Amino acid sequence: MSFLGNLSANTAKQRIYLSVTPGVGLEMIQMDTATNSVANYAVRDLTYDEATRDIADYEEFKTAVQNMMQELGVAPKCEAIVNMPVVSFGLMQFPLLLPDTSITGGIQSEVEQLYVFRRAEPSIAWQDVPSAGQNQGQGNESRQVVYSAIQKSVIASIGEALASIEVSLVGVENSLTSTLRALDFAGYAQQQMEPNTTWNLMIVNSAGYSIVSLSGKNIVDYYEEPLAVKSFTGEELYNAINQSAQIALMSSPANYLFILSDTDQVSALLLASKLQTQSSVTVLENNSLKEQDSIVPVGLNVLPNYASKISLQAVGVALSDTSDYPLNMQFTGTAAASAVEQVCTFNIGEKEITLTANAAMKLVGIFAAIIMIPIVLISFLIMPKLIESNQTKLNNVNNDIKAIDEEIAQYKSSQSATTFNVKTEVEKGIKGNRAKLMNYVAAGESIPKTVWLTYFMTQGDGLVDIKGVATNVEDVYVFFKNMRDSLIGTKLRLQKLEMTSSSVDDAVSSSSNTNYNFEITNMSADQLNALLSVVNQGGENNGGNNQNQKPQQNNNPPQSGLLSEQPIQENK
């Protein structure tokens, strides 16, 4: 065997795989690649703080790892790869010729907008993924990347805790990558992962839900919606998820919808019955609600009461060194290494030589220098002649570049100072129309038969003003409660409720049909006054009517409300 081969063979270290899985705890797992089953598994309780996106107690983490290593007979001085819940994940597009360092900087600028990274520096992992045009064999002048970010302080803390028990941290995975890898390995999404097959993966956990749009095994879009799952009970939780996810699913139509629940509070099967979708739906319980004993085959060494707790995330991180799944974003473990210096041995004839890892690397560097010296000398003899013969061509090219730069500068100076940014305008339109659509859907689903609307104004920034008439007070309150439950977080209030009768005698008359005017809004008093001013100005422009006159019917369309193109200025 060669010298480098001896180094590799004698320095191989045992590797363990850990998964911080909210709802389960801390899992330690090892896979048997020969039988494609779980060879060893142990689990301990561990608290994960969803607010700070960090392990709550690293002493508890270190103690749990030590106990599981003793339980599974794992010797110290081993290596570890750790799976952590997703902190930040997404897709971005960059110019095709942009260097990798600039891409990392662009991603860092994006993730630093999150509250987590306003207090902690992010560690970035990313890789190129095919865009829609590339999937169809078309040319593309942009570069699409998928990225993930986690706090550098979290990686350092994990590394220090493991180093204190003589375990070297070599990598950190994110839970989404591990989940996709496990779904591929176990064959749960085999049909969905066929090439050019569009499908959505909806993952529900205790912090909300995310929707991953894929084409086969390639991610094409990602959407995340925070949701306080623990604040809902029973049917309210499923209704909240349904209302929130409906528009996101309509925005990403696909052949299949795969619903995966990582929390005991949500049944994937029950959620599937609530969602309205044209996609073929598949569900998987990655929680205590699962019907099978284990989501993957297990060996005889795995205790029966452990098998039911094995998560997809743990299986996925255990496959990080063997799976060929195309998505593989791993953060490098840069924290403290093992306190014991590594050594390697090799044989020269019958003599065995032992070297530390640093000494071996220096020896390899000396061999490389000896080989490179003749190459460097030849290069220095030939390069001057090549430089001299091509200097004139280089000068001509530089002159051409200078002339082109001058033309570009002249062209830019002649352009208008204001340009139309298509992407910005499209994103602005989608965001505004999404809020309006949710308001329209909520009104359509919430209105009783005895209530009719006379005025409906909604804007992309979430402002709503609804006026209408009802035959009785009870139905007004039913409509108001339905709207408030459908539009969570909009802070709707019942602004006005009054009888339409002109006198009290008419109201109490048994023969009169008394109706009730009402107004539901989340606008402030200043915004309502501004809205009234816009309506009055529209009446004067259409014929000099004062503010007490009724708006004209049919001939002149209203200047505000459902068809308004004049935004209500918010009070600064």
Tell me what the mean pLDDT of segment 300-307 comes to.
Answer: 89
Is residue 132 over pLDDT 70? no
pLDDT band at 503 (very low <50, low <70, confident <90, very high): low
Give percent of the chain with pLDDT exceeding 70. Answer: 78
Tell me the per-residue pLDDT of 105-114, one tens digit each, with 9 for 90 and over.
999 999 999 9
Tell me the per-residue pLDDT of 271-287, one tens digit each, with 9 for 90 and over.
999 898 889 999 999 99
pLDDT for the residue 1: 36
pLDDT band at 355 (very low <50, low <70, confident <90, very high): low
Return the biggest CA–CA distance within the chain: 118
Domains of the chain: which residue ranges? 3-318, 341-414, 436-523
Residues 184 and 502: their CA atoms lie apart, in Å, by 70
pLDDT for the residue 532: 77
pLDDT band at 508 (very low <50, low <70, confident <90, very high): low
Rounded to whole angstroms, what are the CA distances from 398 to 196, 410, 411?
46, 19, 20
Tell me the per-residue pLDDT of 143-191, one tens digit each, with 9 for 90 and over.
999 999 999 999 999 999 999 999 999 999 999 999 999 999 999 999 9
Q: Which long-range contacts (CB under 8 A, 24 or more apart) does 294-300 make?
A: 294/38, 295/182, 295/186, 296/37, 296/38, 296/182, 296/185, 296/186, 297/35, 297/36, 297/37, 297/38, 298/37, 298/38, 298/41, 299/32, 299/35, 299/37, 299/38, 299/39, 299/40
Structure tokens at 85: 């819940």
Tell me the per-residue pLDDT of 431-451, one tens digit each, with 9 for 90 and over.
667 777 777 787 777 788 889
Rounded to whole angstroms, what are the CA distances from 387 to 375, 378, 392?
18, 14, 9
Q: Looking at the domain 3-318, which fold is it?
A: Nucleotidyltransferase; domain 5 (3.30.420)
What residues contact 75, with CB distance under 8 A and at least 6 apart?
14, 69
Q: Are strands 493-499 and 464-470 parallel, antiparallel or unpaired?
A: unpaired
Is residue 8 over pLDDT 60? no
DSSP β-bridge partners for residue 32: 37
Residues 515 and 179: their CA atoms lie apart, in Å, by 57
Is residue 545 over pLDDT 60? no
Is residue 218 over pLDDT 90? yes
Is residue 4 over pLDDT 70? no
Is residue 527 over pLDDT 80? yes
User: What CATH class does 436-523 carry?
Assistant: alpha beta
pLDDT band at 329 (very low <50, low <70, confident <90, very high): confident
pLDDT for the residue 203: 95
